[in-house]
Amino acid sequence: RRSGYTAPEGSYTIQDRKSGCHLYYCGDIDPEGLEIADRVLARGAGKIFPWRMTVEDYYRSMSNEMLTDKRLNRLDKIANLELRELAKRLKAEKKAGYQEHLIDFMVEDIKEPPKILPYQEKK
């Protein structure tokens, strides 16, 4: 808890881990958003999956906001392999991506879920 703000990863409890549910996490594609996603995915390994956080989604969500070197340096701590690829792209482009630019894609995902979800075994 920082300055009265509870990080989103705090809402994933031990009960959730035991329930067998699978969660999808989407956040802003900026240094702080990737840090949060990294913690969320680590905490729910095998149960929480990134949603709309690919390089392709980054380009769809890219803003004109230039990121400072100080913010970009935060990306060096990202541990998740998928997010690390995204972090490399952020460092190259130096622009933030925001999830509100992905809303139409998210609505379509909900209406028409992918045939193979990350937690399903491929046959």
Instruction: Please tell me whether residue 56 adopts helix, strand or coil conformation.
Output: helix
Strand partners, 23: 48
Which residues fall within 8 angstroms of residue 41, CB to CB, at 6 or more apart? 25, 48, 49, 50, 80, 83
Q: Is the pLDDT of residue 120 over 50?
A: no
Strand partners, 62: 97
The answer to whether the pTM exceeds 0.85 is: no
Between 5 and 69, name the one with better pLDDT: 69
Between 56 and 43, name the one with better pLDDT: 56
pLDDT given for residue 20 in this prediction: 73
Q: What angle do CA 95, 39, 67 make, to 5 degrees?
A: 15
Which residues fall within 8 angstroms of residue 116, CB to CB, at 6 or more apart? 122
pLDDT given for residue 24 in this prediction: 87
Instruction: Point out the least confidently predicted range of 2-6, 75-79, 113-117.
Output: 2-6
Using alpha carbons, select from 62, 15, 67, 22 the residue that is nearest to residue 45: 22
Mean pLDDT of 14-34: 81
Distance in angstroms between the alpha carbons of the first and the last residue of the chain: 43
Strand partners, 95: 66
- Let me know: does 70 contact 106? Beta carbons within 8 Å: no
The mean predicted confidence, pLDDT, of the chain is 83
